[in-house]
Structure 1
Amino acid sequence: MTLLALNPIAFHLGNLEIHWYGIIIALGALVGVIMAMREATRRGIDSDNILDLVLFGVPIGLIGARIYYVIFELPFYMANPGEIIKIWHGGIAIYGGLIAAFIVLLVLCKRRKLSVWLMLDIAAPSVMLGQIVGRWGNFMNQEAFGAKTSLDFLQSLHLPHFIVEQMFINGAYRQPTFLYESMANLVGLIIILAIRHRKQLYKRGEVFLSYLVWYPIVRFFVEGMRTDSLYIMPGVRVSQVLSVILLIAAIVLIIYRRRKNDIPWYVEKV
């Protein structure tokens, strides 16, 4: 079998290289925006608020994702400052992007007098979709992979041939951790979309909190399989620590808010 990695460059516009990574991220963002706009209309929120959130949230989220990564790889970037802006060389962290986008959402809600919890409920499934699609950008770049494995193992997963070939990296087959995370989040998204509009199931904010339970669990286990993790200290992965913190915080918030009697149901206006 001839191993041939997919070209990460989709096409050229003059001297400008257009990477599949960017195209895939943009596609995920577009579908996510459409999904969020439809849900906003259903919930009685002007869809222009979603467009404004995307207009500011996406670029600021990308900056946040890059800053987060650079902070935990600071010695390298201090020695190579020119690499800081070269995100096409890899090195953005989802958690950093989520934190930055969350801040943008808080500011928008305060200025527009919108419910933060409702906006988070609207945005969460779209963010999840973006993560599902975005991992295929990592696939095209041959990044976010796991430890060495065997051809027999990959074939036992009944993966398409092009995925198996793309997982031959640096002279060895690798665990397709990008795929594990993408598929696990797809399952979570399907579940959330299937039940979020059922009456008296979710309190306002709990669609978002359900995402904040599901994704950290997935990320914790997938992160443990990856070979490119950021570390706080030897043996302690940043994303695993943050996943545990977010999971505990989400569960505590669900329990605390459920004990209060003034939290409206998510579908009270439908």
Structure 2
Amino acid sequence: MNSGIEPLNRVAFEIGALHIYWYGIIIAVGALLGLLLAIREGRRYQLPPDTFTDLILYAAPIAVIFARIYYVIFEWGYYSRHPEQIIAIWNGGIAIYGALIGAVATAVVYCRLKHLSFWKVADICAPSVILGQAIGRWGNFMNQEAHGGPTTRAALEHLHLPDFIVNQMYINGTYYIPTFLYESLWNFAGFVLLLIVRRAVRLQRGELFISYIIWYAIGRSYIEGLRTDSLMLGPLRVSQWLSVVLIVVGIGVVIYWRVTKKNRPSYGQ
């Protein structure tokens, strides 16, 4: 039976035969806002604006490539049979942890070449990254992906969600849990927390970036358990395994720094 609910159009507009998707636009908006935020904060600590504009020009495409490679590796059973779909990222299928790996690797190389402290740059970029992730999840919303298991319309309405979200969670005759929204809200909360912590707490260099990693990993480890499209590795989802590792390593690094390297520079120095 046709419910009369139509999904939002994934295509924002067309230029001739070229389709411009909301997915790409939303991710681009998140990246731009994050860049502006990093430039503003960087000025406070004598980092020229082109530090971040140059970095994002390198990191953004590399992060997308790594995100796709990460996803394809863990879904090789499908892509080995449909190799023509490997480059079809406009259909979704990129892994945020893969993007982070690519972005961090790019930043490490970039900072080394420019004789900059990676940890100083990473600290300044941390709120920008989590803001971009919070906004980027709405690209998943437009693609009707990154959702949880089946639910009911009544359950979604009980959450006091606006109709446009409830309707978009109606996919092929079934309502689904909007885990994209949970992660977006978690990331927005982390963004606000990082902005507060970097001013209110005396942090050592690198600790704000690690705080971001720990915060994101905690939320992701739980939210990932609600999703139905996760990449699996044994009994747990790949992102859950990686989240646990990042939490443990992140806490361990901060403790190590605090115990053995008490004279580390402060945030921004």
Q: Distance in 1 between matches of 2:262 and 2:152?
A: 55
- Structure 1 residue runs of 5 or longer lacking an equivalent are none
Q: What is residue 263 of structure 1 aligned with on the other side?
A: 264
Match of 2:204 in 1: 203
CA distance in 1, matches of 2:268, 2:102: 28
Task: Return the alpha-carbon distance in structure 1 between the equivalents of residues 96 and 75 of structure 2.
Answer: 15
Q: TM-score normalized by structure 1?
A: 0.96
Match of 1:69 among 68, 71, 76: 71
Q: Tell me if the contact between 2:120 and 2:268 (Cα under 8 Å) persists in the aligned partners.
A: no
Aligned to 1:173: 175
Match of 1:252 in 2: 252
AA matched with 1:248: V
Describe the superposition over 1:101-139 as per-residue Cα deviations: whole angstroms up to 9, x where unpaired.
101100111111101110110111111011000000000
Query: What is the alpha-carbon distance in structure 1 between the residues aligned to residue 129 and residue 48 of structure 2?
Result: 19
1:95 equivalent in alignment to 2:103: no
The count of residues paired between Structure 1 and Structure 2 equals 266
Q: CA deviation at 1:195?
A: 2.4
Which piece of structure 1 moves more, 259-268 or 137-146? Answer: 259-268
Contact 2:12-2:20 within 8 A present in 1 as well: yes
The amino acid of 2:16's aligned partner reads G
User: Which residue, 110, 113, 131 being the options, matches 2:112?
Assistant: 110
**Aligned position for 1:236:** 236
Matched residues in 2 for 1:201 and 1:145: separation?
A: 38
Contact 2:123 2:268 in 1 (8 A): no
| Whole-Å separation in 2 of the counterparts to 1:10 and 1:51 | 26
Provide the secondary structure at the position in 1 that maps to 2:20: strand
Tell me, in whole angstroms, the C-alpha distance in 2 between the residues paired with 1:59 and 1:119.
Answer: 19
Name the SS for the 1:173 alignment partner.
Answer: strand
Q: Which residue of 1 aligns with 2:218?
A: 217
Q: Structure 1, residues 8-40: CA drift from partner, whole Å, max 9, x if none?
A: 111110001110000000100100100011111
Q: Which runs of 5+ in 2 are unaligned?
A: none
Q: Distance in 2 between matches of 1:236 and 1:205?
A: 30
Q: How much does 1:2 deviate?
A: 3.8
Q: Secondary structure at the match of 1:197?
A: helix
Residue 177 of structure 1 and its aligned partner are, at CA, apart by 0.0
Tell me, what secondary structure is at the counterpart of 1:224? helix
CA displacement 1:187-218 (0-9 Å, x = unmatched)? 111011022123x5211111101101100000
What's 2:81 paired with? Answer: 79
Q: Which residue of 2 aligns with 1:153?
A: 155
CA distance in 2, matches of 1:34, 1:251: 29
Measure how far apart 1:267 and its partner are.
5.0
Amino acid at match of 2:251: I
Find the aligned partners of 1:212 and 1:15 in 2 and give their Cα distance.
40
Structure 1 stretch displaced more, 221-230 or 257-266: 257-266
Q: What is the CA RMSD across the aligned residues, in angstroms?
A: 1.1
The alignment's TM-score, normalised by the length of structure 2, stands at 0.96
